[in-house]
Amino acid sequence: MTTGLQLRSLIKKSGELELSLAKVEVPEPGPDQVVVKVEASPINPSDLGLLLGPADMASAQASGSGDSVKVTAKVPANALPFLAARLDQSMAVGNEGAGTVVRAGASDEAQALLGKTVSMVGGSMYAQYVVRKARDCQPLPAGTTAAEGASWFVNPLTALGMTETMKREGHKALVHTAAASNLGQMLNKICLEDGIGLVNIVRSPAQARILKDIGAKHVVDSSKPSFQDDLVQALVETGATIAFDAIGGGKLAGQILTAMEIAINKSAKEYSRYGSSVHKQVYVYGGLNTGPIEIVRNFGQAWGVGGWLLTPFLQKIGRPEQTRLRERVVNSLKTTFKSHYTKTISLPEVLDLKNIAAYNKRATGEKFLINPNKA
């Protein structure tokens, strides 16, 4: 029987996070299952919640080496009540990835995948081997590598989920923050392809340049003194009344609502004592700033701020629509949905304190890829 390494995250009742590599047996596949050798899995911000939890990584300590490496860190006591359901349970990590099918069950569907490169989703991808149902594996087009197919799900479907949500909730254009990210670049390509107005908010001239270079029309830099005026102008030009915010903490969500209200009032014909009656929405889908959200209300009563997550969105749209979106992604992994990585690391390197400090910064444009079978 084969064994393989699997990354584990454990938060103890005592308030300690422990990261380690477990040696786990790889079971024989059932008739409709396959064993996939994982060759590429990204570290997404959405993985960090499970991997590191709310631990204070400034307190992190490493011990051991190679496959025996272990990292521990303190979890603040006031965070423990929110973690009741995972305490003292060793959790496998990793939302999405790709690899090669190395063993297959007896069914035709499983056998057909043998030797193929496939993309997957659904957890425990930070492992050398995973077992999956054949029908949950997405074969990649010939010539597409595991590294190219690793980030096929979270970012691409989140970006498509934004434009779909915009349409379903009756808005005609959208705003995106931290817009120079991998996801933000995908969103620009989607909006250009689909003729959708997009206002990109970035935090530096360098990030603005990245987006201008891929053809973005509306790029607003929040580091400039003219930020609010620039944002209002872009909102007037696009008519955007919904925003997707990766940052969360701080004043930005409120500033976007304020700018939307000013843009709407510029064309208002009649005074409404409660502000405009146009609904203005900010969905917070990330937490690059985990501090408090601060909202100064000067935009009337037709507003909402709320969380947005991919999984409930996919449940809402249903299977046939999901399939349509997935197929769009898989057919454009080298173009619209191409991801860029800063560094490719092995499983022990995921537990390297310097690497943790780097990927835990969640810096725009910096992204790590894990190859669990890297020598």
Q: Output the smallest distance, CB 66 to its own copies, in A.
A: 28
Q: Which of 153, 299, 337, 359 binds its own copies (CB under 8 A)?
A: 299
Q: How far is the CB of 228 from its own copies (least distance, A)?
A: 10
Rounded CA Rg of the chain: 22
The one segment of 142-150, 152-160, 270-278, 360-368 that binds its own copies by CB under 8 A: 270-278
Binding piece for its own copies, criterion CB under 8 A, among 105-113, 193-201, 258-266, 318-326: 258-266
Tell me which residues in 195-234 interact with its own copies (CB under 8 A).
none
Please, are residues 151 and 339 in contact by the beta-carbon 8 Å criterion?
A: yes
* Nearest to its own copies of 216, 242 (CB atom): 242
Q: How far is the CB of 189 from its own copies (least distance, A)?
A: 26
Nearest distance, CB of residue 248 and its own copies, angstroms: 6
- Distance, in Å, from the CA atom of 46 to the CA atom of 49, rounded to the nearest integer, reads 6
Per DSSP, the residues of 95-140 read: SEEEEEEEEE-SSHHHHTTTT-EEEEESS--SBSEEEEEGGG-EEP
Dihedral pair phi/psi, residue 263, rounded to 5°: -60, -40
Q: What one-letter code names the amino acid at 16?
A: E
Smallest distance from its own copies to CB 97, Å: 17
Q: Report DSSP letters for 28-66, one per residue.
A: PP-TTEEEEEEEEEE--HHHHHHHTTT-EEEEEEEES-G
Nearer to its own copies, 207 or 276 (CB): 276
CB closer to its own copies out of 274 and 354: 274
Binding its own copies (rule: CB under 8 A), the pick from 33, 43, 261, 351 is: 261
Contact 238, 191 (CB under 8 A): no
Distance CA 11, CA 195 (A): 46
What is 236-265 written as a DSSP string? Answer: HHH---EEEES-EEESHHHHHHHHHHHHHH
Q: Which of 28, 136, 294, 327 binds its own copies (CB under 8 A)?
A: 294
Among 106, 114, 206, 296, binds its own copies (CB under 8 A): 296
Q: Does 79 bind its own copies (CB under 8 A)?
A: yes
Q: Is 248 among the residues that bind its own copies (CB under 8 A)?
A: yes
Answer whether 53's CB lies under 8 Å from 79's CB: yes
| Cβ distance to its own copies smaller for residue 311 or 335 | 311
Query: Which stretch in 80-88, 190-198, 218-226, 325-333 sits in contact with its own copies by CB under 8 A?
Result: 80-88
Binding mask 274-293 for its own copies (x = CB under 8 A): xx-x------xx-x--x-xx
SS3 state at 71: strand
Q: Which of 271, 319, 335, 375 binds its own copies (CB under 8 A)?
A: 271
Pairing of strands 368-370, 343-345: parallel
Which of 200/276 has CB closer to its own copies? 276
Binding mask 47-66 for its own copies (x = CB under 8 A): --xx---x------------
Nearer to its own copies, 211 or 260 (CB): 260
Residue closer to its own copies by CB (options 152, 308) is 308
In this structure, are strands 218-221 and 197-202 parallel, antiparallel, or unpaired?
parallel
Position of tokens 């919904």? 242
**For its own copies, which is the closer residue by CB, 33 or 255?**
255
Alpha-carbon gap, residue 299 to 276, rounded angstroms: 8
Structure tokens given for 115: 């030797």
**Are the C-beta atoms of 7 and 69 separated by less than 8 Å?**
no
* Contact yes or no for 282/253 (Cβ under 8 A): yes
Instruction: Give the closest residue to 14 by CA, choosing from 61, 73, 68.
Output: 73
> Which residues of the chain form contacts with its own copies (CB under 8 A)?
49-50, 54, 79, 81-86, 89, 91, 248-249, 254, 261-262, 265-266, 268-275, 277, 284-285, 287, 290, 292-309, 311-312
